[in-house]
């Protein structure tokens, strides 16, 4: 799936539910290039990279989209 098409899916709550699953912490979800160069992937930044239940791929429009998980995310603090 190309990055523009995948980015349109980020606006849908269903996409967030598929990716985040049962994780209840702060997170950021975006689109990035897959490290293998095979198209776009979802980038999920969360506080704990070992969060259980976070999938490594999700099906969107009948395509398997990789999910790259990065730990150490800290949400912005309000001013």
**Domain span holding position 32:** 3-70
Q: What is the pTM of this model?
A: 0.87
Give domain status of residue 75, yes or no: no
Give domain status of residue 78, yes or no: no
Compute the distance between CA of residue 78 and CA of residue 50 in angstroms, rounded to an integer. 27
Give domain status of residue 77, yes or no: no
Residue 36: what pLDDT?
82
Task: Tally the domains of the chain.
Answer: 1
User: What does each of the 79 residues of the chain score in pLDDT, given as a tens digit?
Assistant: 889 999 999 999 999 999 998 888 889 999 999 888 778 999 999 987 677 778 889 999 999 999 999 988 988 888 8
């Amino acid at each position: 799936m190309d990055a523009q098409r995948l980015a349109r899916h980020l606006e849908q709550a269903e996409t967030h539910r598929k990716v985040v699953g049962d994780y209840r912490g702060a997170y950021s979800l975006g689109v990035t290039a897959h490290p293998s160069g095979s198209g776009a992937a979802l980038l999920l930044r969360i506080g704990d990279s070992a969060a259980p239940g976070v999938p490594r791929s999700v099906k969107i429009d009948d395509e398997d989209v990789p999910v790259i998980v990065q730990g150490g995310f800290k949400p912005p603090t309000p001013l």
